[in-house]
Amino acid sequence: MGDPVPEPGGTWQVPLRRTPQQARSKARLARVLQAAERVLVREGVQALTTTRIAAEAKVSVGSLYQYLPDRDAVIDALAAGYFVRLESAMDDLVRAAAAEQWEDPVGVLIDAYAAIYRTEHGFRALWFGSSLTEQTRAADRAHKRRMADGVRRVLLALDLARDDEALARATHAAVLAADALAQEAFRRDPEGDPGLLDEAKLMLRAHLGRVSARYR
């Protein structure tokens, strides 16, 4: 596949069969990805065929095939876009933590990501559809490590921990646990089951609190 390509006007980056060079081609690709997300949300992951997406985007199947030859390629591309958006939000939170003093960093992080889950209908449809490719699963593991690094940077910005292997391990475990709980919370309720999100906060406060206690 070609190099990742930013979506015009957004932060999506997608692995492609071929990289569009002209603005017109990039705009067409952006339209195709937006159409794919609409199909995903309305009809589910099994509807993500090149024929269905091309019809939704009002482009020829041949032009779509240049970049996204099959459903797996579409899934990989959509997932890559969601990862970029989530990591961008984490970068914003790291900057905010450096500028502010949060009394409850776990609460801030869980609430921020719950808000994203509420608006990212495509992300939920993709993850709950149980059709992730091996490439997307591998990308997701790398994504979770980058998110864990974001949590690590938040704790360091708030002067709550020492930067060592124990912190890296603890933040990775926190992200894995939070992701599982968030998925279950949003499977139960499109707005996120509040009781389960509260349980996630309690669990992660205790878990990350042990890291802070070692620092003190």
- Tens digit of pLDDT for each residue in 89-98? 999 999 999 8
- Three-state SS at 6: strand
Residues 6+ apart with CB under 8 A from 146: 87, 90
Predicted confidence at residue 10, as pLDDT, reads: 39
Predicted confidence at residue 16, as pLDDT, reads: 59
Show the tokens assigned to 185: 């919370």
Predicted confidence at residue 8, as pLDDT, reads: 33
CATH for 80-215? Answer: 1.10.357.10
Distance CA 110, CA 178 (A): 8
- Three-state SS at 3: coil
Per-domain boundaries in the chain? 5-65, 80-215
Residues 6+ apart with CB under 8 A from 143: 83, 86, 87
User: Which one is predicted more confidently, 26 or 156?
Assistant: 156
Is the pLDDT reported for residue 18 higher than 90?
Answer: no
Class level of CATH domain 5-65? mainly alpha
Total-model pTM: 0.85
State the chain's mean pLDDT as an integer: 86
Note whether 127 and 183 are within 8 A (CB).
Answer: yes
* Mean pLDDT, residues 169-178: 96
Q: How far is CA 167 from CA 86, 103, 140, 201, in A?
A: 21, 19, 21, 18
